Amino acid sequence: MQGFLNLNKPFDWTSHDCVAKVRKLLKMKRVGHAGTLDPKATGVLPIALGKATRLLQYLPGEKAYQATIRLGVQTTTDDLEGEIITSTPCPGLDLEHIKTALDQFIGKIQQIPPSYSAIQVDGKRLYDLARKGEIVEVPVRTVEISQIQVLDWRDGDFPELDVAIACGTGTYIRAIARDLGKILNTGGTLSALIRTESSSFQIPTSLTFTDLATQIENGTFQPISPDTPLKHLKSLILPAESAKKWCQGQKIPLNLAIGDFVRVYETQSNFLGIGKLENDLLVPQMVLYEYPNYKLNN
């Protein structure tokens, strides 16, 4: 069994917990995930099965979220899991002023990740250092946000804003909540988060653990084809003999200018793996089927 599972991660589960559960349900060892989700977040968590774990690095980075930002509160973790640093009522905030502030986050921006995050500094996770009370300089990173749409607004002493965010890989939604609070001089923290899309997988087609268990019991579970989330990469089809050589690890002469990494096929439906074009050669990067296990269709 190899391919992908579009899992709807439940609340209060770590991404590692989800991988362990999938291993148990499917009775297989080789399982991995893309795009870690915080335990209190829910939604799309792409799971790779079997040899498809080697494809995780080639998945597209685009993600989408529905987030709730609470204003007037600042915490150590930039979400409600942390200790409250400041709590100041801010009634009377103007929504149009907030929308103008949100415009500052669109495009490529510099973002400082939360102190409680999985980023490593000198080989140590930031959240481990933060729990020990060690103060370190969190490295600034460039992230890209393509859209922020206001979905709902609830005013009051500690007003809440619901937004839909489309962004690239590495973006911390908690940092957006924190930085919005700084711009507004109110403080801000993330109070709820749902990931609605990740690496081309979307929440309407995701499976809960209950869904997955039922499909396994009924014998109807089928993983998503390994090449399905790779449509952002261009593809090419090799003749049968070239496909055989490529699966054996040989470089195939090609005079094509179709990009860097490509999906490689023998026939339109027989996905072989990922290649890279270098100096008019198609170089194997990840071969899904190794000859002689790979059988030509001719």
Could you tell me the CA-to-CA distances from 260 to 58, 67, 207 in Å, in that order? 12, 35, 33
Query: What is the 3 state secondary structure string of the chain?
Result: CCEEEEEEECCCCCHHHHHHHHHHHHCCCCEEECCCCCCCCEEEEEEEEHHHHHHHHHCCCCEEEEEEEEECEEECCCECCCCEEEECCCCCCCHHHHHHHHHHHCEEEEECCCCCCCCEECCEEHHHHHHCCCCCCCCCEEEEEEEEEEEEEECCCCCEEEEEEEECCCCCHHHHHHHHHHHHCCCEEEEEEEEEEECCEEHHHCECHHHHHHHHHHCCCCCECCCHHHCCCEEEECCHHHHHHHHCCCCEECCCCCCCEEEEECCCCCEEEEEEEECCEEEEEEECCCCCCCCCCC
Tokens encoding 93: 């905030």
Asked if residue 297 lies in contact with residue 240, where contact means CB atoms within 8 angstroms, the answer is yes
Specify whether 38 is catalytic: yes
Residue with tokens 């109807």: 220
Catalytic residue among 38, 78, 79, 227: 38
* Active-site amino acid positions: 38
